[in-house]
Amino acid sequence: MKQKSVAVVGAAETTNMGKIPDQSVIGLHADAALNAMRDAGLTAKDIDGVATAGESPVELAHYLGITPTWADGTSVGGCSFMLHVRHAAAAINEGLCNTVLITHAESGRSRVGARKFGRDPASQMGQFEVPFGVTSPPTMFTIPVLRYMKEMGVTEEDLAMVAVIQREWAAKNPRASFKDPITVDDVLNSSMIAWPFRKLMCCLVTDGGGALILTSAERAKDFPQKPVYILGTGESVETPMVSQMEDFTTSKAFRVSGKKAFEEAGIKHDDVDHLMIYDAFAHLPLFGLEDLGFVKRGEAAAFIRERNTAIGGKLPLNTNGGGLSYMHSGMYGMYALQESIRQMRGIAPAQVPGAKISIAHGVGGMFAASGTIIFSNEKP
């Protein structure tokens, strides 16, 4: 896509976060959307493009009173919103619409008006994975890790350290679900979920949502907030079944998506000031750092252990506390995007001083899909 041709002019999360028993899923979508519209100084009448995952874009548009000329219901898991940003930028550049609203919301914890989770027993996953006892991400997303640990020489302590450092970031964020410091021992002594994963290596389950509003960079300067420009985008998908990943030590979808985004943006890794990597589990930042090319394969654990991604480090990572400590309603990609926007606006609770380029990298399903967005706060 054309660099810096599209910008984010509205961004907000739901008013509340964590446990929200008095709002349904669609109600949370609307709450996030109304907050983002207020942020951008718009109402539903100004929106002519909608995208969402989990809910149908039809439901979203009608509920909010939007008559769109462009709709995208791409639903590939937690990184769907990165794909929506990418698709929306292309649609705006092509003139299909001018002002796009992207929303996410889930009642992950309270399950108010939430869809039931289940797999069709005739689907590929239903036939070739579910009969062996996988039910949910803690027993699926985790399966590649012992192979990764053996090949890369990564230890349980290394996995624990990911959670420890992200908790340090969360401590600076008033909206984070968990803010109290933890140690490697605390993580390794937390209850066993699925060997080698302990509870504190797994993400939270919360209620919440978020929304973004995008328009052309040309129009963006007329909006109340500091525009955040889109510099590069990438997406890919690999497999609906974690067991059929090409290689358990690296995600093909991550590599393809990341490479595409870097090529579009025309930047080097050293140019990146701030990074978000969707962390449903503690191994995701390790895979992300390697597959995006920030470190060589097998070097991510040491990179984190040496505090390069911690407060004051050279590559601040998951500065909101991440899915491990901030929040995780089910499809966390939206919150990674929101934190990138806050960092680019200069208003994040744990602001990286002078940050000019931020990347939000998402995963969908169990290494099934990926989306990467590179943002900049510098004018075209």
Q: Where on the chain is the footprint of another protein (CB under 8 A)? A: 119-122, 124, 126-135, 138-139, 142-148, 150, 191-197, 241-244, 248
Token duo for residue 110: 């309270």
Q: How far is the CB of 123 from another protein (least distance, A)?
A: 9
Closest distance to another protein from the beta carbon of 227 (Å): 44
Closer residue to another protein (CB): 117 or 312: 117
Please state, in angstroms and rounded to a whole number, the distance separating the CA atoms of residues 354 and 344: 9
Nearer to another protein (CB atom), residue 144 or residue 208: 144
Q: Give the separation between CA 45 and CA 88, rounded to whole angstroms.
A: 18
Instruction: Tally Cβ neighbours within 10 Å of residue 139.
Output: 17
Closer residue to another protein, CB minimum distance, 132 or 180: 132
Provide the phi-psi class of 65: left if phi over 0, else alpha when psi is between -120 and 50, else beta. Answer: left
Residues 144 and 148: their CA atoms lie apart, in Å, by 6
- Residue closer to another protein (CB basis): 18 or 138: 138
| Nearest to another protein of 249, 329 (CB atom) | 249
**12/209 Cα distance (integer angstroms):** 9
- What six digits make up the tokens of 47? 């929106």
Please, which residue, 151 or 168, has the CB nearer to another protein?
A: 151
Token readout for 143 is 């399966």
CB of 143 to another protein, least distance (A): 6
Shortest CB 264 distance to another protein, Å: 29
Nearest distance in Å: CB 149, another protein? 9
Q: Give min distance, CB of 131 to another protein, in A.
A: 6
In the complex, what is the shortest distance from the CB of residue 248 to another protein, in angstroms, rounded to a whole number?
Answer: 5
> How far from 245 is each of 130, 249, 257, 276, 368, CA to CA, in Å?
16, 9, 16, 23, 8
Answer for the pair 207, 18: CB distance below 8 angstroms, yes or no: yes
Dihedral sign computed on CA atoms, order 266, 272, 273, 274: positive
Distance separating alpha carbons of residues 44 and 66, to the nearest angstrom: 5
Q: In the complex with another protein, which residue's Cβ is closer, 129 or 291?
A: 129
